[in-house]
Amino acid sequence: MEELKIRPIRNGTVVDHIPQGQALNVLRVLGVDSSTRDVVSVAMNVPSDAMGRKDIVKVEDTEIDSTEADVIALIAPEATVNVVRDYEVREKYDVSMPDEIRDVLSCPNPSCITNSREPVETVFDVRDGEMRCDYCGTVLRDEIAEHLV
Amino acid sequence: MDIIDTREMSKDDILRLLERASEVEGSDALDGCVLALLFFEPSTRTRMSFDAAMKRLGGDTVDMGSVESSSVQKGETLADTVRVVEGYADALVLRHPREGAARLASEFVDVPVINAGDGAGHHPTQTLLDLYTVRENVDAPLGDLHVGIMGDLKYGRTVHSLALALAKFGARITFASPPSLRVPQNVRTELERAGVEYEEVEGVDEAIGSLDVLYATRIQKERFPDEQEYEKVAGEYRVTTETLETARDDLVLMHPLPRVDEIAPEVDRTEHAKYFEQAHNGVPVRMAVLDTVM
């Protein structure tokens, strides 16, 4: 019998097929931090036929809708999201890159107005695989994890 | 209507403003209106020409003055400053050291916002007066031109706005700069999307013979680690009568000013020099902008 590394959840969301080493960044994208009171489980370096190794994140008693889940595509484009109710997967969807990313990334340009004390959320327009700051136009391609808010 | 950057302006928007600029003299369309000038960075030409433009249209201006003498010094955010000033004026002209400042301001107020320079971002009204000057001096459609842009192309906001506007018309562009001051990626991406024919070179000498317009910009000393390196680079991007020997007789030489050493004083006496005319065009062009947005 396969060893159970992470227990099933009764209600909540399971994000599967996260690239190895990206689980904590997925939590950041989802806004999970020290103020979160839901039970959160993280499995890292789990053997996977398709991916070799993968990470898995489970957030109990919280359902992530497809719009929220799409932000995960920033760092885990192959991720799948499962919404669990009474131990059964009731909804399952793949993530896809959104057209706009709001308040998830900081602008890499230190002179951008969003990196000052102004009361604004960052907004990035997504086009052709690039993220463009809506304020200063700086293009963000890689190093996304470094710019998670 | 806001004027934030040339990327968002259509070719028709630009042409309408240029047409209006040529006929706006004598209008008092803004009689009784007030324009707020908020300059968080030094300015001579832009500030004075907006002031003159508003007054020539019959309106008046209120000026925030220097940052040192304003509430900004007390730590007020830009979002708060513009919301306060919105109550005093019918439109805002904003220059700010941070990129994206004008866009932010436009989100917090209902009156029109005109970007008068946001850090190393954009300076759309400078571009309008640049294009107006080109049209006054070159007898060919903007799309048929070969334009050389030289100097600090990375941090020069006038360059970014001009390149994006020229892209709308399909002009050919040659960028000449030191490798460390090349056009930023976001501008290059926009040019590529627009299908613009452009090239990047380190010196303008080889291209100068085919240029209709050469647009020189200032290389700023603070962009270099040491003065020696700056002197070396600045010397290579200086326009002299010698540089212009192989240029066409009708080459139009422009510069957003202020210049330091980029154009030798003897060039002022040549037929190529159009930079003072260019600066003077700030008034009719900004009159057209104010008349259109207010």
Q: What is the pLDDT of residues B28-72, one digit of tens each?
A: 999 999 999 999 998 999 999 999 999 999 999 999 987 777 777
Q: What is the pTM of this model?
A: 0.88
In-domain check, residue A1: no
- Mutation target vs B (from A106, A109, A111, A113; most B CBs, 10 A cutoff): A113
- Judge if the upstream peptide bond of residue B258 is cis by omega within 30 degrees of 0: yes
Q: Is residue B42 located within the same domain as residue B72? A: yes
B260 versus B285: the higher-pLDDT residue is B285
At A56 the pLDDT is 95
The pLDDT value recorded for residue A65 is 83
pLDDT classification of B256: cutoffs 50, 70, 90: very high
**pLDDT higher than 90, residue B159:** yes
Residue A149's pLDDT band (cuts 50, 70, 90):
confident
**Span A70-95, mean pLDDT?**
91
> What is the C-alpha separation between B217 and B278, in angstroms, rounded?
13
CA–CA distance, A144 with B189 (Å, rounded to integer): 19
In terms of domains, do A34 and A74 share one?
A: yes
On whether residue A80 sits in a domain, the answer given is: yes
Same-domain check for residues B250 and B132: yes
Residue A105 sits in which domain range? 100-147
Neighboring chain A residues of B96 at a CB cutoff of 8 Å: 113
Do B186 and B201 lie in a common domain?
yes
Best of B99, B188, B191 to disrupt the A interface by mutation (most A CBs within 10 Å)?
B99
Look at residue B97 and tell me whether its pLDDT is greater than 60.
yes
Q: Do A112 and B98 touch (CB under 8 A)?
A: yes
Query: A30, A95 in Cβ contact below 8 A?
Result: no
More confident residue, B219 or B170: B170
What mean pLDDT do residues B74-81 have?
91
Helix axes B11-21, B282-293, angle to 10 degrees: 120
CATH of the domain at B10: 3.40.50.1370
More confident residue, B129 or B71: B129
Confidence of residue B133 (pLDDT cuts 50, 70, 90): very high
pLDDT digits (tens, 9 = 90+) for A44-76: 999 999 899 999 999 999 998 888 888 888 888
B1 falls within a domain: no
ipTM: 0.90
CATH classification of the domain holding A104: 2.30.30.20
**Model pLDDT, residue A120:** 95
From the list B129, B124, B133, the residue with the least C-alpha distance to B213 is B133
Q: Is A118 on the interface with B (CB under 8 A)?
A: yes
**What pLDDT shows up at residue A22?**
92
Query: Tokens 């907004």 map to which residue?
Result: A123
For the cut 60, the answer to whether the pLDDT of residue B128 exceeds it is: yes
Q: Please give the C-alpha separations between residue A137 and each of A108, B21, B98, in angstroms, as whole numbers.
A: 11, 29, 12
Per the structure, the count of domains in chain B is 2
Residue A37 shares a structural domain with residue A109: no
Is residue B72 a contact partner of residue B95, using CB atoms and an 8 Å limit?
no
Domain hosting residue B250, numbered range: 124-279
A133 touches chain B (CB under 8 A): yes
pLDDT of residue A108: 93
Residue of A nearest to B193 (CA): A128
Residues B143 and B271 in one domain: yes
Kindly state whether residues A89 and A42 are assigned to the same domain. yes
Residue B200: predicted pLDDT: 96
Q: Average the pLDDT over each of B105-119, B132-146, B211-225, B277-291 and give the range with the smallest value.
A: B211-225
> Do B61 and B198 reside in the same domain of the chain?
no
- Asked if A76 and A123 sit in the same domain, the reply is no
Task: Classify residue A2: in a domain, yes or no.
Answer: no
Q: Provide the shortest C-alpha distance from residue A75 to chain B (in Å).
A: 22
CB-nearest to A136 from B77, B100, B189 is: B100
Q: Quick one: tokens of B230?
A: 């700056």
Lowest mean pLDDT of A63-67, A87-91, B240-244, name the range: A63-67
Q: Kindly report the CATH number assigned to the domain that includes residue A80.
A: 3.30.70.140
Assess whether A74 and A56 both reside in one domain: yes
Tally of domains within chain A: 2
- pLDDT above 80: residue A145: no
Q: In this structure, are B113 and B131 located in the same domain?
A: no
B187 — alpha (psi -120 to 50), left (phi > 0) or beta?
alpha
Average pLDDT over residues A76-85: 93
Q: What is the pLDDT of residues B182-192, one digit of tens each?
A: 999 889 988 99
pLDDT for res B74 = 77
In a domain, A5, yes or no: no
